[in-house]
Structure 1
């Protein structure tokens, strides 16, 4: 097992929330060695989705600190952004072939966990497309199996650490996991009341 990937995975918390994932097993030679090689492989739609999320984040943050009038403007712009996000989410979801799609059990800044009938050995490499439905975002990266746990006689849970991912995409996954955790906490509080 790759100790460095294990440590990288453990630096980030995992949030139990399902998201669509497209995994394609690849050979070690097919995994980009540099961020420039990864960048060259990322489809334009994935780059566009990430850039849109970065723009949203950078444009709305300053408005929130400007007072009441700006907060109304920020709310309006956020509603417009949500409409665009919904369209983008639909486009991203329909861009993928169904045969490679699964749903992960959890995700975080270090990687994902998913369950499968097939046991993939530790060290297996995957081209990974993670679709963050709530964020209307998609991440294109590569990951590696760092742990396999037998759940039942027919199911295995795989832990995949991101082996190469752009910094802005990792940040997006971290932000998405924080938002998911906030949603889960609010839901838990409303159920208790």
Structure 2
């Protein structure tokens, strides 16, 4: 992964952030890929396939196949429900927290305990849209006292490209949602 910076969006997601030992050494790329739990890999592949479905859906939408689109959407919803259930099994209450902001290069979350800068973390991020989850490693780059504990900012250190794409898509979705809501609020206030 390059040292690119991506914008972050303020949004709450469920995160598992497991602090690792001070002497923790990040795995090799091959070891990292091998240790990613199967539901995370499946979720990533589902999301990639959903992107392909979007273009096919647009083509069908221009024709008289609305019933086919409805059928595909229903099947996709069923698969997403099943996937969400599988991913929920990967959520460890011991390390569960909530993000304050996230993006494709870093995230910030609330923690009950402070962490040292450079502390290694094993991270699981549970996305809402697209329905997916990200498994990666990160390093703490900031820890600030907060009214609800500590605000931890972590920069991703090991993250698959496909998962970075999912984070970009999720951040863009939340940004669009926020902009739409602002537009509606402005219209209502006029």
Scaled by the length of structure 1, the TM-score of the pair is 0.85
Change (3 A) 1:170 1:75: farther
Quote how far apart the aligned CAs of 1:137 are: 0.3
Q: Does 1:144 align with 2:174?
A: no
**Partner SS, residue 140 of structure 1:** strand
Q: 1 CA distance for matches of 2:65 and 2:32?
A: 38
Quote how far apart the aligned CAs of 1:37 are: 1.6
Structure 2 residue aligned with 1:107? 102
13, 20, 26: which one aligns with 2:7 = 13
Q: What count of residue pairs does the alignment treat as equivalent? A: 185
Q: Give the 5 Å matches for 1:37-76.
A: 37-65=31-59, 68-69=62-63, 72=66, 73-74=68-69, 76=71
Q: 2 CA distance for matches of 1:182 and 1:71?
A: 28
Scaled by the length of structure 2, the TM-score of the pair is 0.86
Structure 2 residue aligned with 1:181? 175
Structure 2 residue aligned with 1:160? 154
Q: 2 CA distance for matches of 1:48 and 1:77?
A: 19
Quote how far apart the aligned CAs of 1:146 are: 0.9
**Partner SS, residue 134 of structure 1:** coil
Q: Contact conserved, 2:60 with 2:69, CA < 8 A, in 1?
A: no
Deviations 1:79-138 (A, max 9, x none): 432332133113212332322211111110002101223110100001100000232200
Q: 1 CA distance for matches of 2:48 and 2:126?
A: 16
Show structure 1 runs of 5+ residues with no match.
Answer: none
Q: Contact conserved, 1:60 with 1:78, CA < 8 A, in 2?
A: no
**Partner SS, residue 129 of structure 2:** helix
**Partner SS, residue 104 of structure 1:** strand
Change (3 A) 1:90 1:70: farther
Quote how far apart the aligned CAs of 1:191 are: 2.4
Change (3 A) 1:67 1:104: closer
Structure whose residues are more often helix by fraction: 1
